[in-house]
Amino acid sequence: MTRATTTTDLVAGLRAAGVGAGTPVGVAWSADGVGLAHGDALLACPGDGVDAVRRVLEALRPRLVWWSARDATPLVRAGVRVASSWDLAATHCLLHGGSDRDPALVWAVARGLDPAHRPRTGQLDLLAGGPAPGSADDPVDPAEPVRPDGHLRPGWAEHGPPTPEAAARWAAAALVVQAAHERDLGVLPDTRRSPGTPALALLTAWSESAAELLAVELGVRGLPLDRATAIRLVEERVGPRPVDAVTAAAARAGRDDAVRALVPGAEDVDLRNPASVRALLGRVGIDVPDTRAWRLEPFRGTHPLVAALIDWRQAERIATTYGFGWLDRDVGPDGRLRGSWTGCDGAAGRMTASAGLHNLPAELRPAVAAEPGMLLVRADLGQVEPRVLAAVSGDDALARATGDDDLYAPVAARLAVDRPTAKVAVLAAMYGQTSGAAGEALRGLERAYPVAMDYLRAAHESGAAGRDVTTYGGRRVRMWPLAEPVDPAATAARGRFARNAVVQGAAAELFKMWAVSVRAALPPRAEVVLCLHDELLVHAPEQEADQVAALLHDVLGSTAARWAAGSGVRFVADVSVVRRWSDAKG
DNA sequence: GATTTCACGTA
DNA sequence: CGTACGTGAAATCC
């Protein structure tokens, strides 16, 4: 253990240990400094850890290894853009599936220990955590993160290592896991890739790590919102901001009364109670199993109540979820809408976001606007899932169809059906839909694209049988046990889930690789501000917007060439430069 | 008080 | 009998 009191010592120590560009270097924070590790070199640096890491990045360009990209937060807040990282929580989820990713679990699995015996966080610590580290009952070195039984010592993940020395050991433990993960990724099957290029699973690990880092950045910087427009749009729907609870209740009752007045004697019906609404509909002769909008839609002409109810629901959505409370809570004084982001969900690996960032109603999108002197560059992948299917299944016939800007046109021609039918059939195949009018066209797909259809069927059968599936990039997607006696519907549902997961998951991997490559290539003042499954929003200086637009196309080309190497599949993006999100056609 | 159901927004 | 997510209100469970 070396205590580096200057950043010069720190850089020299790492360089002497063989650290250069791309070398994994463990990093962990303590309250009063930072610890770094590579091989046998453990460096404890008290003081301004952020500045120390910044100097190390500038001098050596290593790949920072952390237990989770949450550790990037101090760097992100300080404006440090980390180029290369390894996120153990992310690679753990990639390799093993599931959504649990606490360090004790990640460590236990990587070390071959029984995760059930790992130390638990929170109150359970008090019951099962044993004596306090370093206490008279615990002779172990208090800076040692590994317990005598081989498990991680609880508590550090929550509160951080107590000292820079302890942080260096925590960083060294992270490096141990990183090496195990890299080894495990290396044994994943990797077909159709050029010799000499990094294995796809390793590229995915890098990309997923960067996506977690991007998620932290997105959470810190937020989405630029024009508050005045947002307020106007909310007011148009639910009226002016109520000054107190009484006026709020009055406005609410006013909206309710406008609907209830359409049916005599309905003055006291609770519109927020689905059972009451269903009964109300029954009184005007409309019998529905539930009161969802899509089920009410066919009855628009039957009674004025239906249209009023659907409209009321939209207003109610704005009033409750996207109203003044939302603006007050989630939009900062700087006009940025902030939520918490994750780099991957627990299922197929899409990014998630809270605070409405992923489900903002279209009618509020005009409020998402570039700041003065800036523009938004919006880009979305076109028909990404069928193109991904062509790549991951290795279906050459479907790959040829991706040469067309509109993939469904050549598919329709091949199947001798019209375009809408072809589209429905392809989507039905990928999502496991079995009802509707896609039947004949589905049989056409089986004949025209047997490789792709076999790939989907194999995933479906695997899921139905309870076997985990693995995405193209190497993500393990876990199935779940079914309750006895096994319900055929539940089996089929698991099959559909697996069938969808291999497509949606691979699409998420491609999207994230694109997003993080864009992030890495952007000019300094341009920032990714939103990721939405197949859509990217970049906030860029006016003068650089066209350059960024070109970059989005270029980076997609290079990313797809690496990701889908040898498949012949073409990916396309629609890119536009706009002031407001809504200016772009989605 | 915590969990489930219904509903609905996005992809 | 398409998948996933996050959110809020009411109902339900304990």
Kindly give the confidence (pLDDT) of every residue in chain A, 586 residues in length, as a single tens digit, with 9 standing for 90 and above. Answer: 777 778 888 999 999 999 999 999 999 999 999 999 999 999 999 999 999 999 999 999 999 999 999 999 999 999 999 999 999 999 999 999 988 899 999 999 999 999 888 877 654 444 344 455 545 445 567 678 999 999 998 777 777 899 999 999 999 999 999 999 999 988 766 655 555 566 899 999 999 999 999 999 999 999 999 999 999 999 998 889 988 888 888 888 999 999 999 999 988 899 988 888 989 999 999 988 889 888 898 898 899 999 999 989 988 888 888 999 899 999 999 999 999 999 998 888 999 999 999 989 988 999 999 999 999 999 999 999 999 999 999 999 999 999 999 999 999 999 999 999 999 899 999 988 766 666 788 889 999 999 999 999 999 999 999 999 999 999 999 998 888 778 888 899 899 999 999 999 999 999 999 999 999 999 999 999 999 999 999 999 999 999 999 999 999 999 999 999 989 999 999 999 999 999 976 5
Alpha-carbon distance of A361 to A46, in angstroms, equals 48
DSSP code string of A143-172 = T--B-TTSSBPTTHHHH--SSHHHHHHHHH
In one-letter notation, the amino acid at residue A322 is Y
A18 CB burial (10 A radius; 0-12, 13-18, 19+): exposed
Alpha helices in A34-102 (DSSP H): 49-60, 73-77, 88-96
Q: Which nucleotides of C are covered by protein (CB under 7 A)?
A: 1-11
Whether A533 sits with its Cβ under 7 A from any strand B atom: the answer reads yes
Alpha-carbon distance of A499 to A496, in angstroms, equals 5
Alpha-carbon distance of A213 to A520, in angstroms, equals 12
Q: CA-to-C1' distance for A312 and B6, Å?
A: 16
Q: Which of A75, A345, A6 is nearest to A217 (CA)?
A: A75
How are beta strands A223-224 and A336-337 bridged, if at all? antiparallel
Cis peptide preceding A485, ω within 30 of 0: yes
Whether A532 sits with its Cβ under 7 A from any strand B atom: the answer reads yes
Alpha-carbon distance of A540 to A364, in angstroms, equals 21
8 Å CB contact between A407 and A387: yes
Q: CA-to-C1' distance for A469 and C4, Å?
A: 16
Mean of all residue pLDDT scores within chain A = 90
Query: Which nt is closest to the CA of A364, judged by C1'?
Result: B9
Structural domains of chain A, with CATH: 2-187 (3.30.420), 227-328 (1.20.1060), 335-383+508-583 (3.30.70.370), 385-505 (1.10.150.20)
Alpha-carbon distance of A3 to A159, in angstroms, equals 22
Structure confidence by residue, pLDDT tens digits, A4-51: 778 888 999 999 999 999 999 999 999 999 999 999 999 999 999 999
How are beta strands A535-541 and A374-381 bridged, if at all? antiparallel
Q: Which residue's CA is nearest to the C1' of nucleotide C7?
A: A321
Alpha helices in A261-403 (DSSP H): 274-283, 293-296, 304-320, 324-330, 384-393, 396-401
Q: Which nucleotides of B are covered by protein (CB under 7 A)?
A: 6-11
Structure letter (DSSP) for residue A117: G
Match 């509020």 to its residue by tokens: A364
Query: Which nt is closest to the CA of A348, judged by C1'?
Result: C4
Q: pTM of the entire structure?
A: 0.94
Q: What values do phi and psi take at A466, rounded to 5? A: 90, 5
